[in-house]
């Protein structure tokens, strides 16, 4: 498959144009030539020197990540920026990135993956960002206790051995769950207004403690990395269906 064909198919699948004015990340093909063929696609959460080296060692033609290297462009290609771009160019490794489009995709996205882990039903988009959504909300098949929901997350997510933090201020039984992966506590008020019993996200801000306590809602902080492995995993399965060889590199941060 040609590189541009792969990029175009991913762009269309993830509707990246819909997020063009909403996302600080430059989504789509961030590094790569106009013409190149692809046989082996690698996947990772973060586009960093470590995952670049692993992809190069695996003889991959392109690396697909959730977090890339261009957040609004570059003023200078020096320092850390140069250190990250150089191995890509020197080794002919292309980089494709999908940030918010992969958070909010209602089938392949990170929030959808966490909702799968929690067996949520009656799912609908959550986490408004302009005209788009970056999360998902649903109802537990069987109500969770706070400890039970925490245990499910710890058993199912790649937390790097770190515990899931819980701001335990909601009801004894958790039925309605809002999910927004990564750094999602800015959508706490939306979760409250929607009638959610809990918000599941990756990392929080200090103010979320008092906001959750005053609103009477649980907040589960399961780790930024841990909540954002699902999207690239889903893309890996899709690309395999397209007939390409794939690899996945785990690099949990515990954060």
Instruction: Determine the pLDDT at residue 204.
Output: 94
CA distances from 30 to 4, 60, 96, 97, 130 (A): 12, 16, 6, 7, 24
Please list, residue by residue across 205-234, b when 16 or more beta carbons sit within 10 angstroms of its beta carbon and e when fewer do: eeebeebbeebebbbbbbbbbbbbbbbbeb
What φ, ψ does residue 79 adopt, rounded to 5°?
Answer: 55, -135
What is the pLDDT at residue 192?
A: 98
105-203-169 Cα angle (round to 5): 105
Q: How confident is the model at residue 160 (pLDDT cuts 50, 70, 90)?
A: confident
pLDDT at 235: 98
The pLDDT > 90 percentage for the chain reads: 95
What are the pLDDT digits (tens) for 142-158?
999 999 999 999 999 98
Band of pLDDT at residue 73, cut at 50, 70 and 90 = confident
Degrees (nearest 5) of the Cα angle 37, 230, 35?
Answer: 15
* For residues 214-238, average pLDDT: 98
Residue with tokens 């390409």: 244
Same topology between domain 3-98 and domain 103-225: yes
- pLDDT for 2: 97
| CATH architecture classification, 3-98 | 3-Layer(aba) Sandwich (3.40)
Query: pLDDT exceeding 70 applies to what percent of the chain?
Result: 100
CB-based contact 185:208 (threshold 8 Å) = yes
Quick one: 103-225 is in which CATH superfamily?
NIF3 (NGG1p interacting factor 3)-like (3.40.1390.30)
Sign, CA torsion 177/180/184/189: negative
21: nearest Cα among 77, 100, 91 = 100
CA distance 108 to 231: 6
Instruction: Decide: 238 and 191 in contact? Cβ < 8 Å.
Output: no
Where exactly are the structural domains of the chain? 3-98, 103-225
Q: Is the pLDDT of residue 173 over 90?
A: yes
Residue 82 class from Cβ within 10 Å (0-12 exposed, 13-18 middle, 19+ buried)? exposed
Query: What pLDDT does residue 48 have?
Result: 97
40 is an annotated ligand-binding site residue = no
Cβ–Cβ contacts within 10 Å for residue 113, how many?
Answer: 25
176 is in an annotated binding site: no
Predicted confidence band at 72 (pLDDT cuts at 50, 70, 90)? confident
Amino acid 128: pLDDT: 97
Question: What tokens appear for 63 in the block?
Answer: 């690396």
The string of pLDDT tens digits covering residues 95-128 is 999 999 999 999 999 999 999 999 999 999 999 9
For residue 145, what are the contacts with CB-CB under 8 A and spacing of at least 6?
A: 172, 173, 174
The stretch 43-68 carries a mean pLDDT of 98
Mean predicted confidence (pLDDT) in 46-75:
96
Q: Is 158 annotated as contributing to ligand binding?
A: no
Distance, C-alpha 11 to centroid of its chain:
16
Tell me what the pLDDT averaged over the chain comes to.
97
């Amino acid at each position: 498959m040609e590189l541009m064909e792969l990029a175009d198919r991913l762009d269309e699948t993830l509707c990246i144009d819909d997020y063009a004015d909403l996302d600080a990340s430059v989504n789509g093909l961030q590094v790569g030539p106009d013409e190149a063929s692809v046989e082996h696609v690698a996947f990772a959460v973060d586009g960093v020197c470590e995952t670049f080296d692993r992809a190069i060692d695996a003889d991959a033609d392109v690396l697909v990540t959730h977090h890339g290297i261009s957040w609004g462009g570059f003023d200078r290609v020096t320092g850390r920026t140069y250190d990250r771009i150089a191995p890509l160019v020197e080794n002919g490794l292309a980089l494709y990135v999908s940030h918010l489009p992969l958070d909010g995709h209602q089938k392949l996205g990170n929030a959808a993956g966490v909702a799968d882990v929690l067996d949520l039903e009656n799912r609908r988009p959550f986490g408004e960002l302009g005209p788009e959504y970056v999360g998902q909300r649903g109802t537990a098949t069987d109500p969770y206790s706070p400890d039970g929901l925490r245990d499910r997350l710890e058993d199912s997510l790649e937390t790097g051995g770190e515990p899931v933090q819980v701001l335990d201020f909601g009801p004894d039984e958790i039925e309605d769950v809002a999910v927004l992966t990564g750094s999602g506590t800015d959508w706490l008020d939306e979760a409250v207004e929607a009638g959610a019993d809990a918000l599941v996200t990756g990392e929080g801000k200090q103010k979320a403690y008092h906001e959750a306590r005053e609103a009477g809602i649980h907040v589960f902080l399961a780790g930024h990395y841990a909540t954002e492995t699902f999207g690239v995993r889903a893309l890996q399965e899709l690309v395999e269906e397209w007939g390409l060889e794939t690899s996945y590199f785990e690099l949990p941060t515990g954060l």
